[in-house]
Structure 1
Amino acid sequence: MATARKTTSPGSPSDTNQPGIPERRRSFNVLAGTIGHFVEWYDWYIYGLLAAVFADQIFPSGSALTSLFAALITYAIGFVVRPMSGIIISPLADRYGRRAVLAVTIGGMAAGSLIIALTPPFAVIGYAAPLLFLFARVLQGISAGSEIQSAIAYMVENGSTNRRGLFGSLSNVASGMATLAATGAAAIVTSTLDSDDLATWGWRIPFAIGGVLGLVGLLLRSRADESPEFEEAAQDSGSGRRPARSRLRVLLRDHRKALLQTAALSAPAVAYYTWATFLPTYAQLTTGRDLGSTLTGNVIGLCLLVIIVPACGALSDRLGRRKPFPIIGAAGMVVLFYPLLLLLQQPGFGVYVIVTASGWVVLAIWQAVYPTIQADLFPASVRVSGIGVAHQLVIAAFGGTAPLIASAFVDAGHPMGVAVYMTIVVLLCLIVYVTLPETGTAAKRPTAAPAEASNASDATADSDTTTSTEKETR
């Protein structure tokens, strides 16, 4: 009789608790991933927040709005290259590991931030100034296009079975804290410096800080361990040898529904980027509010986000993920966005705080769990590739263009069109959310793609049968 092969039941702790990694090392790995993610997105958001300040210095023109358009188009170009990076580089994280890719991404983001901080104005070096900004944004776009899916996979895979939702939420805690830090830095320089100092050198300080912090994140990531779930998948299925093209074929053949669901989970980023990088400018352009006060108001709202996201992530490990969080968060956006921007027409700092805080609450509920859901939709062997392809295409289409489209609505005299646009996008996503599977603790995440897992199982069964036959013969 063949010897019984040891199996692991779905959702069993031995499969996802990674007993070989000490708890202290796992905590360091998550810290390295979280801090690195924070630095990545601090560098990314500070550009959108200060675009209105440096636009005339780097992209001078006949009007302030035209200069702002040029700055925002350059900002959007960083998003355009993100899908290419997601498609080309993400499979490398599935082939060679998450840690190496994460180290490269933070280095590129920090370099881009330092280039922006040190670029002389147009008046000094002419068209080299906007070209250097363009190069920096392309470099940051390549880095960001590889970062988020690698970080999501890394943090989720370092989580134990009963903390997978919490660990997954840390990626958006980091990005929320990065938005908070970037907004706070922008608020400090815009409120403490006079207009001349701010326009000439003050706006550069937050970029320089981001570049230095990037070196710290690089050091931490270089000392972190590889994801244990990736290593298990590579050993079990041999998937580490698969080339990028093969992984994309597997995704398009076996995971089309998961790609659509992942895209829908990411698309409300149109609201996130509007709220994070353009709402202060929107309020300034439409109601004449002071930019420093609106940035301060955003800081207050973001404090709610960084509290709510991990709380909801932890709750998802007990309540499940699909219904309580992405559906409620998206429904809240659909219901609130138009009234909130309508309320913004009323004067007063308190009104602005109510508007921004209300938006951040519903955004936090959506943000809390979608990274873990996305990770659980794919096996580890194609996880980074799957999230990367879907997420980066959607972010390029909706996230990067959000401030530009919002500016166009304002310039055309239809500022409330911003709310209508965001609501339509999120409503379409909400329809897809009802098709999401439940990926709470009772659901098992495979570590290899279906075909790979089947082949590995067959090979193991054949090996067991052969061994048994040899024993009986002897």
Structure 2
Amino acid sequence: MTEVAAERGTRHRLPVRKLVAASMGNALEWFDWTIYATFSIYFAGAFFPSGNEALALINTFATYALAFFFRPLGGLLLGRFADLRGRKPAMILTIALMAGGSLAIGVLPTFGQVGWLAPALLLIARVAQGLSVGGEVSNASAYLGEIAPSERRGRYSAFFYISTGGAVLIATVLGFMLARTMEKTQLASFGWRIPFLIGGVLGLAGLWLRRSLTETELYQQKQESARRVRRPLLTTLTRHPKAVGQLVGITMLATLCYYTFFSALTAFAVKSRGADEVDAFLALSIGAALFVALQYPLGALSDRIGRKPQMLVWSGVTAVVIVPLSFLVGPGFGGLLVVFCVGLALYAAVTALTPAIMSELFPTELRGLGIGAWYNLTVAVFGGTAPLVLNALSAAGAATAFFWYVAVAGVIAFLVVLRLPETRGSELR
């Protein structure tokens, strides 16, 4: 029985303030990561030598990808910290790291001012954010899973990506507004700094909200068990290898969906397919709004029909349609709208229940570290490299190969989900 479980026969009331507070940090995390990817076409020249725009953009995405490889370390360290010290202090630490990194990027000097110190400082800020995100996803997912009644875990989980989608929507709308109201020279000069500074300010609101959280009862019951675990990362492999494999298989496709539609595709459409940047930002904004609107209904649906059927639809249909969708990316608002709306609607089918699925895979004493380490390692390998791979393949004239790559990930995820036990309504271990 969790701290929020309602008595039978009474109407359940969602603890909205608690759900928003738990999800707020994740919203800030993904606001910052999204603006880095979407505004990279404007600030790439600020941190790297001028004269080769394509090389500067590739270097910027390489920094983006490199920071991802600190996510597993963040997931390992901050996930273990959450298992030992509590979900609440871990979530406060992650949001502080992310806000600090965002503010730093917003005020960094350019390559023209300090030379190679500029990309070095950019990398340090991104490393801090990479560590932060590594801990945030696992700890917030564990928190939401642990406070939810077993029969409503899908509904509670939906708030995780309602916040994420809302933050991404704000970031893309901001991009649309800036692209519409500012000249390209202004965006490249100073306009790109605005969203990073906004992200830092939002961090203060997130810190204030998270101070009001209470620790979960399930964690408090298992805190001593977590302290007795020796070699926790190895323990996840020796005692829970199936859970690790299932998490990796599902996350591989999920992270490719996220970074394809929310990050890489905007720059790809503008730079490689000749799409208008205003059309791209507007189409992404509408797709993001649809993504947010679908979260709670799909989370509730997973509580009714189960996790497995919903994930089979997501992975199977994505594998089939991703390549045909790629041919619609180009000039014209209509094609872009179809791509973003179809892609993000499918992706919503899994994000609505992701925290529930991840929480149900590992026992409480290993939940923070188990999710943090293996989820983030998978995201680093497949998600962090997605913008770089797409741009590199596009430069080589083989952009379609990237979408076949996503299709193969869809087939793998479908096969993994087929062997996944149904966990709807089950008690957390």
**Same fold judged by TM-score > 0.5?**
yes
Give the Cα–Cα distance (whole angstroms) in 1 for the partners of residues 2 and 106 of structure 2.
46
How many angstroms does 1:413 deviate by? 0.6
Aligned twin of 1:328: 313
How many angstroms does 1:24 deviate by? 8.5
1:392 and 2:376 correspond: yes
Amino acid at match of 2:340: T
Counting aligned pairs with the same residue, the percent is 36
Aligned twin of 1:222: 211
- The structure 2 residue matched to 1:249, chosen from 229, 234, 238, is 234
Taking structure 2 as the reference length, the TM-score comes to 0.95
1:260 and 2:222 correspond: no
Aligned twin of 2:63: 74
> What pairs up with 1:73-92 in 2 under 5 angstroms?
73-92=62-81
1:172 and 2:161 correspond: yes
Taking structure 1 as the reference length, the TM-score comes to 0.86
Give the Cα–Cα distance (whole angstroms) in 2 for the partners of residues 17 and 57 of structure 1.
49
1:231 and 2:220 correspond: yes
Give the Cα–Cα distance (whole angstroms) in 2 for the partners of residues 96 and 413 of structure 1.
50
How many angstroms does 1:104 deviate by? 0.3
Cα deviation digits, residues 345-397 of structure 1 (max 9, x gap): 4x421111111111111111122223211111111111111111210110000
Aligned twin of 1:103: 92
Give the Cα–Cα distance (whole angstroms) in 2 for the partners of residues 344 and 43 of structure 1.
25
1:297 and 2:283 correspond: yes
Q: Secondary structure at the match of 2:69?
A: helix
Contact 1:95–1:239 (CA under 8 A) maintained in structure 2: no
Cα deviation digits, residues 51-83 of structure 1 (max 9, x gap): 111001111243111000010011111101111
Aligned twin of 1:339: 324
Aligned twin of 2:427: 444
Give the Cα–Cα distance (whole angstroms) in 2 for the partners of residues 249 and 394 of structure 1.
17
Q: Secondary structure at the match of 2:327?
A: helix
How many angstroms does 1:26 deviate by? 4.3
- The structure 2 residue matched to 1:315, chosen from 272, 297, 301, is 301
Aligned twin of 2:415: 431
Q: Secondary structure at the match of 1:267?
A: helix
Greater Rg, structure 1 or structure 2? 1
Give the Cα–Cα distance (whole angstroms) in 2 for the partners of residues 255 and 161 of structure 1.
21
* Farther off after superposition, 333-342 or 168-177: 168-177
Cα deviation digits, residues 148-168 of structure 1 (max 9, x gap): 010101112121232211111
Give the Cα–Cα distance (whole angstroms) in 2 for the partners of residues 260 and 43 of structure 1.
29
1:406 and 2:406 correspond: no
How many angstroms does 1:276 deviate by? 0.6
- The structure 2 residue matched to 1:272, chosen from 258, 264, 271, is 258
Q: Secondary structure at the match of 1:437?
A: coil
Contact 1:187–1:295 (CA under 8 A) maintained in structure 2: yes
Contact 1:265–1:370 (CA under 8 A) maintained in structure 2: no
1:62 and 2:46 correspond: no
Cα deviation digits, residues 424-473 of structure 1 (max 9, x gap): 122112111111111111x2322xxxxxxxxxxxxxxxxxxxxxxxxxxx
Give the Cα–Cα distance (whole angstroms) in 2 for the partners of residues 263 and 146 of structure 1.
17
Gaps of 5+ in 1: 1-13, 447-474
- The structure 2 residue matched to 1:134, chosen from 120, 123, 126, is 123
Aligned twin of 1:4: none
Give the Cα–Cα distance (whole angstroms) in 2 for the partners of residues 199 and 396 of structure 1.
28
Give the Cα–Cα distance (whole angstroms) in 2 for the partners of residues 428 and 225 of structure 1.
39
Cα deviation digits, residues 317-372 of structure 1 (max 9, x gap): 1111112x111111111111100011224x42111111111111111112222321
In structure 2, the CA distance between the partners of 1:93 and 1:227, relative to structure 1 (3 Å rule), is: same
Contact 1:262–1:390 (CA under 8 A) maintained in structure 2: yes
How many angstroms does 1:89 deviate by? 2.2
Give the Cα–Cα distance (whole angstroms) in 1 for the partners of residues 14 and 317 of structure 2.
38
- The structure 2 residue matched to 1:208, chosen from 192, 197, 203, is 197
Contact 1:316–1:369 (CA under 8 A) maintained in structure 2: yes
Aligned twin of 1:356: 340
Aligned residues: 424
Give the Cα–Cα distance (whole angstroms) in 2 for the partners of residues 398 and 130 of structure 1.
23
Give the Cα–Cα distance (whole angstroms) in 1 for the partners of residues 103 and 13 of structure 2.
33
Amino acid at match of 1:212: V
Give the Cα–Cα distance (whole angstroms) in 2 for the partners of residues 141 and 226 of structure 1.
25
Contact 1:87–1:388 (CA under 8 A) maintained in structure 2: yes
In structure 2, the CA distance between the partners of 1:328 and 1:25, relative to structure 1 (3 Å rule), is: closer
Give the Cα–Cα distance (whole angstroms) in 1 for the partners of residues 163 and 350 of structure 2.
15
Contact 1:286–1:410 (CA under 8 A) maintained in structure 2: yes
Contact 2:62–2:388 (CA under 8 A) maintained in structure 1: yes
- The structure 2 residue matched to 1:306, chosen from 292, 300, 324, is 292
Contact 1:16–1:161 (CA under 8 A) maintained in structure 2: no
How many angstroms does 1:15 deviate by? 5.4
Aligned twin of 1:472: none
- The RMSD of aligned alpha carbons is 1.8
Give the Cα–Cα distance (whole angstroms) in 1 for the partners of residues 131 and 4 of structure 2.
33
Cα deviation digits, residues 114-144 of structure 1 (max 9, x gap): 0100012211122121111101000000101
Give the Cα–Cα distance (whole angstroms) in 1 for the partners of residues 329 and 222 of structure 2.
50
Contact 1:119–1:129 (CA under 8 A) maintained in structure 2: yes
Amino acid at match of 2:277: L
Amino acid at match of 1:286: S
Q: Secondary structure at the match of 1:439?
A: coil
Cα deviation digits, residues 146-198 of structure 1 (max 9, x gap): 11010101112121232211111221222222221111112211221012211
Amino acid at match of 1:264: G
Give the Cα–Cα distance (whole angstroms) in 1 for the partners of residues 238 and 3 of structure 2.
27
In structure 2, the CA distance between the partners of 1:141 and 1:371, relative to structure 1 (3 Å rule), is: same
Contact 2:150–2:427 (CA under 8 A) maintained in structure 1: no
Give the Cα–Cα distance (whole angstroms) in 1 for the partners of residues 396 and 187 of structure 2.
29
1:154 and 2:139 correspond: no
Q: Secondary structure at the match of 1:34?
A: helix
Give the Cα–Cα distance (whole angstroms) in 1 for the partners of residues 307 and 13 of structure 2.
27
Gaps of 5+ in 2: none
Give the Cα–Cα distance (whole angstroms) in 1 for the partners of residues 378 and 197 of structure 2.
30
Contact 2:252–2:379 (CA under 8 A) maintained in structure 1: yes
Q: Secondary structure at the match of 1:287?
A: coil
1:288 and 2:274 correspond: yes
Amino acid at match of 2:267: T
Amino acid at match of 2:333: F
